[in-house]
Structure formats: C-alpha cells, structure tokens
Amino acid sequence: MHGSLTCFSGALMQYWAMIFSLKRVSKGILRLALMVVLCACPESRILCQESSTGPVFSSPVLDLGMVVQDLDASAAFYGKVLGCKEVKGFSVASPFATSIGLVDHMDVTARVFLLGEGEKQSRIKMMSFPKAKAAKSDQRFIHSTLGFSYLTLHVMNLDASMKRLKAAKIPFEGETPVALGGNNALLVVRDPDGNFVELIGPRRSAAE
C-alpha cells in the first residue's frame, strides 16, 4: 500500500491538484484523470490491465507448429490413423522465415491438418527440415525434458480410434486405455517421432 501511495507524489500530485482546481469538471474527465494517475504508477498497472473487459485474444483457436523427421510418415499418422483432416498447406521463403527468427536460412513447407470442419478449428502445421539434422528431445516420460510434452485430442469414438491404431500397429502406452468415469476412457500412444498423443473419448463399438 505504501508503494502505491508514493506514486501520487511530485508531478502526478500537481496534475491531480490542477484537475480538482477547475470549477467545472465533468465526471468523465475525473474518471479519465484517475486512470491516467493510476496507470502511471507501476504498482497499479496490473489493476488497470485487469479492469479491461475486452478479450485478450482475437481467436480461441490454437495452432501447433510441429517439426518432424519424416513428413509423409507423420502425415499418415495424424491424417489416416488419428483422423485429422488435411487441408491446403503453405510455404514460406527462406528470407522472410529467417527474418522472423524461426529458421536459419531455410525454406518452410508445411502440411496442415484440422481437428474438425470449418475455419475456426485448431491446426497442426507440420514441417520437415532434412538438411537441418535436428535432434530428438528426450521423450521417455513427459518429465524427461522441458517444453510442450504431449498433445490431447478429444475424439467422438475411442473404440474407432483404437481400431485404426491397431491396424497401423501403433502400440498403446502404459496400461491404457484406462477408464475416466462414465463411458469415457483415456488412451496414450506415440507418433512416428516418439511424441506423446493422448486420446480421450467414449468407449463404444465403431460403426461399420
């Protein structure tokens, strides 16, 4: 509290006194003056930010950029096996990609997969850089390395997903699938690069 009070010393107090010395001051001007004084105080900036009722993000959709070793193998896993829908990908020339710090003088070619229909869907942007000879992270467990550790996909029919995974000879991790309550269960598998993928959904026979 003492730290906040010190913000009203010096020039800020003079500014505040000037506002109140005016004979006719509208409520709007008083509110604006108060916000100027509060936001000029470092301890009060958090309060000013939190008072905003507007959204922080322009979209709730999350895009994931993924670098893989074998682009075709990973595309088949996420597309045919897991059921993600592939849409038109994109390319970024080396000069621009390098200028924003994402690559070291390399072109970017990405294949894009959606989790559903429509534009407002989370996307997996999949890329491969064979010349970079990137090292794999330690994925023995999710606590083996820092950073993003696993991807969670909520599916409509876990049994159908399990059937496709078994057909592709993808082993299930640990003792999964495990029941989560009700008819839902959780299954953990790994993609071609060893990354964990968590599938959550109801257990019911796949429709033939």
Is pLDDT above 90 for 6? Answer: no
| Structure tokens, 53 | 């009722």
Say if residues 127 and 68 touch (Cβ distance below 8 Å): yes
The answer to whether the 57-135 and 137-208 domains have the same CATH topology is yes
Could you give the angle at the alpha carbon of 143 between the alpha carbons of 142 and 145, nearest 5°? 90
Q: Does domain 57-135 have CATH number 3.40.190.10?
A: no
Say if residues 113 and 78 touch (Cβ distance below 8 Å): yes
pLDDT of residue 4: 45
| Structure tokens, 94 | 């080396």
DSSP letter for 74, please.
Answer: H
pLDDT of residue 56: 92
Residues 112/114/117/119 CA torsion (nearest 10 deg): -60
At the top level of CATH, the class of 137-208 is alpha beta
Q: Count Cβ neighbours within 10 Å for each residue of 56-90 and write b for 16 or more, e otherwise.
A: eeeeeeeeeebbbeebeebbebbbebbbbeeeeee
Residue with tokens 């200028």: 99
- DSSP string of 103-137, one letter each residue: SSS--EEEEEEESSSSSSS-EEEEEE-GGG-PPPP
Question: Which phi and psi (to 5°) does residue 59 adopt?
Answer: -150, 140
pLDDT, tens digit (0-9, with 9 covering 90-100), for 171-193: 999 999 999 999 999 999 999 99
Q: Which residue ranges make up each domain of the chain? A: 2-50, 57-135, 137-208
pTM over 0.85: no
pLDDT of residue 133: 84
